[in-house]
Amino acid sequence: MRFGMIRRAVMAALILPSAVMAVETAFLLSLYYGEYRKLEVGKDHAYVVFSAARIASQTMPAEASATALYLEDPSEPNRLILQQARTALDDEIRSFPQRTVDDPDNAPDLRRMQSAIDALLRQRDSVDTENPSVDSVDNVFKSASQAYLNIVDRVRSNIDDAALLQDLQLLRYLLDINEAGLELTYYGAALLSGKSLDAEQTDALERAIVVDKAGRIQLQQSIDDPRVKALSEFDHSSDGNWLEGAIASIERDTVNSAATPPQTWDRIQEGRTRLWQQTIAALISDIERHGDQLADRARSQLIVLVSIVATLGLLITAIILLAMKGMKLIATIRSEREAMILELRDAAQTDLLTGLYNRRGFQSAASALLHQASANRDWVSAILFDLDHFKRVNDTYGHDAGDVVLRTVAMIARANFRPFDLLVRHGGEEFLALLPGSSAEDAAAVAEGVRQAIENADIKLPDGTTLRVTASFGCAGISAPAHQDLLTELLKRADLALYAAKGSGRNCIVVDAGTASDAENPSFTTA
């Protein structure tokens, strides 16, 4: 009887702490998981704002400017500039993280955004065939920019991070002032050149002057922010004072081209616009970095969450196991050991520098991909690409700079390959991509997009230097049945094609002639 009481007391001493710890664990998990979700949402919203703001303030104005230039002078160089601007904007629109804002509350803004994009596409056809007025073109671009800024405003209301919210408020304010400054520049230049404005244009000019004045005043309230200091300094410079006087004369309707030369107006406004664009671009980069920081904090929070689960779970399990006389201790240790081995195996399959698969990870992933392709009797293609003259980067700027280049190229490749393509750091500065459901020509088309993205990327090194690199590509493809032996042969052919690309002057794509279904395709070289 006494032994039974002692046993029950011991069991209670073991089980009761377990119950208390279980309650505490659940409470801590709810707290940390809530914080983790908040950081994840903040990160997603930061990326949405970064993408939308860049479209509205950079890529879309760039196409608007290129369109106006082409309408004034439809020469071949201007047509190429316009095409490049259109391609850049299309890429930005395609990469916009719309799924992050796909919910019923955002539906009206998303519909307006899609309508604005459709209007932009119709306008492109009009520019190519009908030569519309610059004003009509400007209105379409302003409507499209505003649609993306509405998304910024919508997302901003759901952000809890104080620092990020402050940056977003400053960005929205700068975007509004910059838009007014662009309108003031355009209509002011027209007046100084002796042109007359209609009623709608006059109203737009008056609104732009009011917003510009308010912006100068508001700018003084943000003078402590080093990111806007240059804007305030410009306003107090000789050019800024001249510009203020010119705007005052426009407002008083006392414009005199002799006292206010159009050339001086254009020069100063161009410098002011460039300064504002640089400030906005820097602020957008800050928001992107803030999103990255939130992502890092979310990952850290997740690690803490997992650590709490593992630690407290282990303690509770240990107490319960003691209460049950250790019957399940060996099974638990074995399970944890297998989980740890699995984690170590996953870590061994990933390249630490770029975050891509390494060669070991590639083998297992490629086997699964080839099995699926063989079952579907589909094509599989390989792309080997190698950075040109990478040794010069290491020799000139150091290995830290080389690491920055490799990480940046990996990020560019990840962004430009399809989500289901298998991307691997094959060794050194060489990368490999395996593309299911793609012929050699399909792979070459994808490779061309990656090649252009790498060539056009400005890579900022730790010392502030901006660097550009290029890459050479070799493509080869096989059709089902695909198996490991054929994969080895495929990689050999892709490697030979890459070697041929290096021998052809680099920064180009060579398709293995033995696997190309159309060796006469003039878009790419075959070997």
CB 468 within 8 A of CB 458: yes
- pLDDT tops 50 at residue 413: yes
| Range with the largest mean pLDDT of 74-83, 251-260, 286-295 | 74-83
- pLDDT tops 60 at residue 160: yes
CA distance 11 to 199: 88
CA distance 157 to 152: 9
Query: How many Cβ atoms from other residues are within 10 Å of residue 133's Cβ?
Result: 9
Tell me 356's DSSP state. Answer: S
Element (DSSP H or E) covering residue 317: helix 262-323
Tell me 335's DSSP state. Answer: H
Tell me 379's DSSP state. Answer: -
Residues 261-270 pLDDT 10s: 888 888 888 8
- DSSP-assigned letters across all residues of 212-258: HHHHHHHHHHTTTSGGGHHHHHHHTSHHHHHHHHHHHHHHTT---TT
Among 448, 443, 445, which residue's Cα sits nearest to residue 472? 448
Domains of the chain, first to last: 21-297 (no CATH), 359-526 (3.30.70.270)
Q: Taking CA 327 as the corner, what is the angle to CA 324 and CA 333, rounded to the nearest 5 degrees?
A: 115
Instruction: Output the pLDDT for position 494.
Output: 95
Token pair recorded at residue 481: 């049945």
pLDDT confidence band for 331 (50 / 70 / 90): very low
Residues 449-492 pLDDT 10s: 999 999 999 999 988 899 999 999 999 998 765 556 678 888 99
CA distance 61 to 53: 11
Q: Which residues contact 263 (CB under 8 A, 6 or more apart)?
A: none
Radius of gyration of the chain (CA): 30
CB 165 within 8 A of CB 159: yes
